[in-house]
Structure 1
């Protein structure tokens, strides 16, 4: 099963399951999870091939949705689910295939469509990082800057670098993620599935182009009760760029 990070204790409110995006981890969501745990239990997962969870050659949305279903079934009751990017797609497929397990769904800056871009250039950058004699995150950032210009992206990627290992290593199954990148940026055929009739919030960054107007008919068809909201000044990593605004929007919808 996936590795979990728990925050807070059970209350009258349903627990919240947080599902990170590509190259992410439960740890990325620690601050938000801790703050939200003032009113409910919050469980963040490490997805397969990420952080402390198991590695596997298969990395597609049906298996990721099944991983999440296993977590919720082990908890013994339905949960509210928040998924970002890749985690948002896995969470959407979970709601469509196992609606009995999802009370409310929040999809952060992603749509149920295939995307034309690839993140293999970031995998190449991580593979190309010289790990020899590396003993500080500052030095790792300096070296990674040769191939990744954006300091925010570097900081995000470096959260998955284990500097305590000897030698340092990436806590990501880069081979599997690279092989299945088309499946990660894609979206499975869901034509045989019934729409998810529960409440859904599609929360996007106003500066991001991941949820375009042309995706709205697809969203409405699969999630008839979907509400749309945008966070001003935020891009794709909206929870990191505007954490307070993101948290406030979550509280309004989930509570």
Structure 2
């Protein structure tokens, strides 16, 4: 599947991959920072942003999407950075297509299966009556009544669009819900990726834990890890200056 993306800067290439319910705009601050030294390819994954919808949403397919999209640009080698779900896609690319990947950077996720963390989000999104929705203010109020988390609501509502006649979700909400068990998992591979890999954890997040070290070492034996204090799961926005510098230092090392 051909994906939508933006391209900034010149030099070695790095591909940026957003998380669940996101789009390429989530990593724009990092993209602009890295574009001073790199060619940055910032991607909308399938069923997200401006990329096409599909009834499938698994890591093998998403990795294939990214590789095929980059091949269209005639770029053969690149770094890959992914946040959360995008981090799992990045890991799968490194494992399945190691000949294309120079360095791997994973933001706050492990190559492991996770329990359900988003059932309330799916319920809130599906409860929103788009047919009778008046405006974004109403959407925000109704979402927050379900989630009681205004920052998450603002993030989710970046997916809410209006074509002049009706409101709709830009993301493929139906497929994401149907495939959520697959999204929580990680297929992995019997082989390992031996190039340098960096795993960045937010100190206040519980996505990356000590027990995940063995999973990471199994797949990415040349990995190093960084912990950023004062950050949760969204390190690139919560501590952008520190995060950006760590990423750049690793790429230029």
TM-score, length basis structure 1: 0.93
Shift of 1:225: 0.7
Residue 228 of structure 1: SS of its match in structure 2?
strand
Classify the secondary structure of the residue corresponding to 1:82.
strand
**How far apart, in 1, do the equivalents of 2:202 and 2:240 lie?**
11
In the alignment, the residues of structure 1 paired with residue 240 and residue 126 of structure 2 have an alpha-carbon distance, to the nearest angstrom, of 30
Q: Show the counterpart of 1:38.
A: 36
Deviates more, 1:121-130 or 1:174-183: 121-130
Which residue is equivalent to 1:195? 192
Q: 1:24 corresponds to which residue?
A: 22
Residue 47 of structure 1 aligns with which residue?
45
Does the 8 Å contact 1:207/1:234 carry over to 2?
A: yes
| 2:122 aligned partner | 123
Any idea what SS the aligned residue of 2:206 has? coil
The size of the alignment, in residue pairs, is 249
Q: CA deviation at 1:115?
A: 0.5
Whether the 8 Å CA contact 2:5–2:24 is kept in 1: the answer is yes
**SS of residue paired to 1:58:** coil
Question: Any conservation in 2 of the 1:118–1:181 contact (CA below 8 Å)?
Answer: no
**Could you say which residue in structure 1 is the equivalent of 2:112?**
113
1:160-239 to 2 correspondence within 5 Å? Answer: 160-190=159-189, 192=190, 194-239=191-236
* TM-fit CA distance, 1:165: 4.6
Structure 2 partner of 1:141: 140
Shift of 1:121: 2.1
Contact 2:110 2:212 in 1 (8 A): yes
Q: Is the 8 A contact 1:204 1:230 kept in 2?
A: yes
Q: 1:153: which partner in 2?
A: 152
2:60 is aligned with 1:59: no
CA spacing shift, 1:58–1:165, aligned 2, 3 Å: farther
The 8 Å contact of residues 112 and 219 in structure 1, kept in 2 or not, is answered as: yes
Matched-pair contact (CA < 8 Å) for 1:72–1:78:
no
8 Å CA contact 1:196–1:222 kept in 2: the answer is: yes
User: Distance in 1 between the 2:14 and 2:164 partners?
Assistant: 32
Which residue of 2 is the match for residue 68 of structure 1? Answer: 66
- What is the alpha-carbon root mean square deviation over aligned residues? 1.4
Task: Report the Cα offset of residue 254 of structure 1.
Answer: 0.9
Alignment-derived partner of residue 248 in structure 2 = 251
Q: C-alpha distance in 1, partners of 2:120/2:83? A: 20
1:4 corresponds to: 5
Tell me, yes or no, if the aligned pair for 2:48 and 2:171 is still in contact at 8 Å.
yes
| Runs of 5+ consecutive residues of structure 2 not aligned to the other structure | none
Quote the offset at 1:134 in angstroms: 2.8
- Show CA shifts across 1:100-125 (max 9, x none): 11111100000000011242321221
* Alpha-carbon spacing, 1:133–1:29, altered in 2? closer, same or farther (3 Å): same
